Structure 1
């Protein structure tokens, strides 16, 4: 399965729309798209996961690494529109306590 990453830069935030599966094969592509965004600004990064059908531990690792960089730069990470399955994954791992997760969309329309 492939992954698709679309980026909308708005005034005070960047919204990233991710579609597909995030696994050991696709996580490097996602990391390659997200990390430069985290390093270049000190604002809000919103990642919309509405169209992500699957995520494994490598995907979780991408978001943990992203969060570290964003916090170092005084930015904010918000994951939005997670499926019930993804919400459970973040909850089971305890990452929902350290990453801002919202059920509703924020930012651009797609």
Structure 2
């Protein structure tokens, strides 16, 4: 399955809507889309409500974006995780270092 990436830019916030699977095949495209926002110091809010699956490569993308936002005084927030995806972040301990909120991306 592919990954669909759609985003809305609002002042100093970009809301990214993802749907599909984030894996070794789709992660490079995702990284290519997200890193420029992070490097501009933009606050990045990622809506994962349409994501069914994330593998370790996908987790690596989120870690890279988190580091880039931190370095450039931005902020990364993940929202809308399914219980399955949330569990992955909990098991890996990423829920301790990333801002994860319930709800949808357009807040």
TM range (shorter): over 0.9
Unaligned runs of 5+ in 1: none
Q: Distance in 2 between matches of 1:10 and 1:30?
A: 20
Are 2:99 and 1:94 aligned?
Answer: no
Q: TM-score, normalised by structure 1?
A: 0.93
The structure 1 segments of at least 4 consecutive aligned residues displaced by more than 2 Å after TM superposition are none
**Aligned to 1:24, what secondary structure does the other structure show?**
coil
Q: TM-score, normalised by structure 2?
A: 0.95
Number of residue pairs matched by the alignment: 107
Unaligned runs of 5+ in 2: none
Are 2:29 and 1:29 aligned?
Answer: yes
Q: CA deviation at 1:12?
A: 2.8
Aligned-residue RMSD, C-alpha: 1.1
Q: Distance in 2 between matches of 1:53 and 1:105?
A: 15
Q: CA deviation at 1:44?
A: 1.6
